[in-house]
Structure 1
Amino acid sequence: MNVEDGISYEIAEVDRLVARARTAQTAFEAGGSQALYDKAALAVGWAIMEPRRNEALARLAVETTGLGNVPDKITKNHRKTLGLLRDIAGVTTFGTISDDPQTGITEIARPIGVIGAVVPSTNPAATPANNIINALKGGNAIVVAPSPKGVASCEMLIGFIHVEFDKLGLDRDLVQMLPAPGSKAKTQRLMETVDRVICTGSQNNVHRAQSCGTPAVAVGAGNVTVIVDETADLRDAAAKIAASKCFDNATSCSSENAVVVVDAVYDDFVAAMAAEGGALVPSGDADDVIARLWPDGHLNRDVIAQDADRMLEALGMTARVPAGTRFLAVETDGIGPDHPLSGEKLSRVLALYRAADFDAAKATAARILSYQGAGHSIGIHTGDDARAVGLGRDMPTCRVIVNQAHTFATGGSFTNGMPFSLSMGCGSWGGNSIDTNLHWRHFIQTTKIVRAIAPREPSLDEIFAGYWSEAGQ
């Protein structure tokens, strides 16, 4: 079989898959009810959360991707799914969702149809499960396109889902994945033939999703910067930053990549960070870390998302840091393409910046986000809430995370009001159509019943009186 014939076969294979999904979705919608959609979503939740299956998925994910660690993947699979199920419990996605006598408009929820979900290897079970639950909650079918390293985990997850579906008499074709081996041609065809694309992962995939011709919801790149000011509880800030940075070996797009500390508390914060296992790498040694972290201009795979001991060995730091070191904080002041520490590192490595005062810290953070990660999020540890609000007014970001461990807060937490999600929209700053966490509302559309109401036409004076008084007629 030549290359052209191979691509034609792959396209036909995807078309058959989508056709089966469309048939299943049509029947799912025709016999739909809120109880049915909720039951299907819960089946997926239990498929990933049942403890033995959760552990199997976590172990397989680490084994096949080489990213993260098993205990944290188990926690992520459990908490992200539990939080999502909490968020959607009681949410109406079938039938009438609003009826407003004042406007005369009744809004009816409708499925989108067949969803195509492109998902990353960093969360090869949790992200697909999140998308699948949301899709079924809205009455859709879904076809998942995993990254090559995520194929095995996605296959196992969907196998568990189908076991639950069989118990309930649900059609397995409601949840499918592109058959292995994955390819760009298959993913491209999927994106072109479904009714909506949901894309989380590399910016190359995001670009392809947003230019495939199908309406797409895609998310931007992370490069989280956190400010620690002179009013912060330094012990609390250091503990939260350490816990967040080390969780699942920094696979999350919400993992802190840079910390900007004001001069008045810099030394005290470094000491607090050391107590949490954060070893300071002075700026004089930064070049050696950079050379080992980007040996050929690309991130070193022996460092990316690895446990602390392996990361330290790959960076030649084992004998140069205290025993019990969990992560590195590398002093730097450079920002931009010639200063790779200012970008996303996908590892237990932080860039540490020193700022004269809060205004200088804010300016540094703005420069970092303008280089990489605009729109995603910024964090601040402070006792002055007005500063957090000021960041929300001035910074190119969709989220300001205040006095929280960033990884656990950005994508939803049981201690904040953000929707549980593994995909964060970054607004116009990040080139995205959404500025919220991906959630159930992105998986439905609505039909509006529009009735006549009493006239509400204002006079010109009601509209222009204030303007005329200032500018004249």
Structure 2
Amino acid sequence: MNKRSVFDTVCEAIDASKSAHKLYIKLGISDREEIIRELRKELLNHVDELAQIGYEETCMGCVEDKVVKIKLAIEKTPGTEDLLSEVLTKDKVMTLYEYSAFGIACAVMPSTNPVATVINNVIGLLAAGNSVILCPHPRAIKVTKYLTDIIATTILKVCGIDNLVSTLSEVSMKNISEIMHHPDVNLLVVTGGSDIARQANKCDKKVISAGSGNPTFIVDETADIEKAANCIVRGASFDNNILCVTEKNIVIVSSIYEKFKKALEKENVFYIDTFDDMLKLSKVLLTEDMKPNKFLGGKSVSEILDFAGIEFHGDYRLIAVDVPKIHPFAIEELLMPVIAIVKACNFEDALEISLCLEQGLRHTAGIHSNSIERLNIAAKTMQTSIFVKNGCSLDGIGFSDDNPVSFTIANRSGEGSTSARNFARRRRCALIDAFSIR
């Protein structure tokens, strides 16, 4: 069955998107709000099936966690309310600052989080007034086409505009590059690998670019250890640790190591602290060049332990493994439910190690400490786009307390956690000769 707004060629997709945008810019903000409101309502009817299709196609993560991600993207992604207008009045000039659309946006999606990222980007890009061409990862083409059909059909029913959001029937680096370099495409939003981000930055246009991350969290001797362990396991185990922001390594002050280890084990963590088991794990999780084995990306704890030939009993949420700070488990982003534990002499040593492990990527980091001074020092030193104090990594992107949700963390181009205002141009309009009523 043919899907709406799915095109066989780049030219067809761009022509359709261009025509759609010409109609879309004639609508007002209230029309955009109606479109987004109806999209949210319709997409909520498809959460479970989108999670299931995404899991079956990518073979990563777990369905239950994908349901949570997708619902959050639908309900908590900021819309037009994010486009705040500003005004400055002087005696003879009024200056207005408002956000305008870029035009046609190309949104490149990751394989690790295709559905939630598509929904999050589409709502933000439509709120900003853009039309959108989705470029999914080849491992997620089926679910993206299905989702595009739902989105495009809903928009057509609401406002009569077809192809405001579209995608391709097949994707490759060649046709994604063709879209990114096309003169009619005005904005590139890249969520995912560094290679595609580097290509995007070679294009002569606005680029909002996410890049690699290696989220590192410190636990010092003043921390609430039980709470820290709970937060870390909640984040690192979520969807089998394929989200870019979730804890990948923990730097622990050695004086509380034993207490922290016991706290992790209480959270249903399989702890590896022997050389033999660490070697078994390394052999299956790493390739010959010491890079992560992508075949095991997003697999469950039981699948990984089975592959490694490590005996276990029970259903575990996460694997923790003691490693030196130069081990690939600590310096590479595995995207598996495996967290590296690195010991430090004291807080100062822990901060220095964390800085090395984060590698200047400026993505995500955090700390568990009851010292206000250390919380402040760590945040200033790490300079990451997302920094979490005494919480779970998921809190940093809006998983708690009714915060706005973002699934594109633009650490490479500097916007950080993105929303609608990042997908629009900030424009300045000046009215001369007296508009003040003061």
Distance 1:82 1:423 in 2: 16
- Taking only the aligned residue pairs, the percentage that are identical comes to 23
Q: Which residue of 2 aligns with 1:99?
A: 87
Q: CA distance change for structure 1 residues 166 and 363 in 2, over 3 Å: closer, same or farther?
A: same
Aligned residue runs from structure 1 range 126-205, under 5 A: 126-180=116-170, 182-193=171-182, 194-205=185-196
**1 CA distance for matches of 2:353 and 2:299?**
28
The Cα shift of 1:117 comes to: 0.3
Q: Please, which of 13, 18, 21 is the counterpart of residue 22 of structure 1?
A: 18
3-state DSSP class of the match of 1:104? strand
- Stretches of structure 2 that go unaligned for 5 or more consecutive residues are 1-6
SS in 1 for 2:410: coil
| C-alpha deviation, 1:172, in angstroms | 2.4
The yes-or-no answer on 1:291 pairing with 2:278 is no
* Cα distance in structure 1, aligned partners of 2:14 and 2:106: 9
In the superposition, the TM-score normalised over structure 2's length comes to: 0.91
1:354/1:141 CA distance change after superposition, 3 Å? same
CA displacement 1:316-362 (0-9 Å, x = unmatched): 22x1x452322111111132xx6344221100111101111111111
Q: In structure 2, which of residues 337, 361, 381 is the aligned counterpart of residue 348 of structure 1? A: 337
1:437 aligns with 2:417: yes
Q: Residue type of the partner of 2:122?
A: I
Describe the shift of the 1:207–1:302 C-alpha distance in structure 2 as closer, same or farther (beyond 3 A).
Answer: closer
Partners of 2:240 and 2:160 lie apart in 1 by 37
Q: Describe the SS at the equivalent of 1:48.
A: helix
Unaligned runs of 5+ in 1: 1-10, 427-431, 455-473
2:357 is the alignment partner of 1:377: no
Tell me the residue number matched to 1:39. Answer: 34
1:128 Cα deviation from its structure 2 partner: 0.9
1:393 alignment counterpart = 380
Q: Provide the residue aligned with 2:401 in structure 1.
A: 415
C-alpha distance after superposition, 1:254-279 (max 9, x if no partner): 12111111122110000000011112
Question: Is the CA contact (8 Å cut-off) linking 1:229 and 1:381 kept in structure 2?
Answer: yes
CA distance in 2, matches of 1:284, 1:44: 52
Kindly state the Cα deviation for residue 404 of structure 1 after the two structures are TM-superposed.
1.1
Q: In angstroms, what is the RMSD of aligned CA positions?
A: 2.1
Tell which deviates more after alignment, 196-205 or 396-405.
396-405
Q: Confirm or deny: 8 A CA contact 1:302 1:314 kept in the other structure.
A: no
How far residue 42 of structure 1 moved from its aligned partner, in angstroms, is 2.3
1:470 maps to none
Residues 268, 327 of structure 1: alpha-carbon distance in 2 compared, 3 angstrom cutoff:
same
Does 1:405 pair with 2:392? Answer: yes
* Local SS of the residue matching 2:154: helix
Residue identity in the other structure for 1:450: A
SS of the equivalent of 1:198 reads strand
TM-score (norm 1): 0.85
Is 1:227 aligned to 2:213, yes or no? no
CA deviation vs aligned residue, 1:374-408 (integer Å, no higher than 9, x gap): 200111111112211111222242332011111x1
Q: Helix, strand or coil for the counterpart of 2:217?
A: strand
**C-alpha distance in 1, partners of 2:8/2:408?**
30
Matched, 1:80 2:73: yes
Q: SS at 2:146's partner residue?
A: helix
The 1-side partners of 2:106 and 2:19 are apart by 15
8 Å CA contact 2:230–2:264 kept in 1: the answer is yes
What residue in structure 1 maps to residue 43 of structure 2?
48
Contact 1:342–1:351 (CA under 8 A) maintained in structure 2: no
- SS class of match (1:415): coil
Moved more, 165-174 or 352-361: 165-174
When residues 272 and 363 of structure 1 are mapped into structure 2, their CA distance, relative to the original with a 3 A threshold, is same
| 8 A contact 1:374–1:396 mirrored in 2 | no
**Larger relative contact order (Cα-Cα within 8 Å, sequence gap ≥ 6):** 2
Distance 1:302 1:12 in 2: 29
Looking at structure 2, the residues matched to 238 and 46 of structure 1 have their Cα atoms a distance apart, in angstroms, of 37
Whether the 8 Å CA contact 1:135–1:443 is kept in 2: the answer is yes
Q: CA deviation at 1:438?
A: 1.1
1:330 aligns with 2:330: no
Partner AA of 1:384 in structure 2: S
The 2-side partners of 1:198 and 1:219 are apart by 8
Structure 2 distance, partners of 1:279, 1:350, is: 10
In 2, the alpha carbon distance for the partners of 1:153 and 1:425 equals 24
Aligned residues of 2:398 and 2:406 also touching (Cα < 8 A): yes
Q: 1:449 is matched with which residue?
A: 429
Judge conservation of contact 1:45–1:129 (CA < 8 Å) in 2.
no
| Letter of the structure 1 residue corresponding to residue 73 of structure 2 | K
- What is the alpha-carbon distance in structure 1 between the residues aligned to residue 83 and residue 415 of structure 2? 22
Counterpart contact for 1:145–1:177, Cα < 8 Å: yes
Query: Do the aligned partners of residues 302 and 446 (structure 1) sit closer, same or farther apart at CA in structure 2, a change above 3 Å counting?
Result: closer
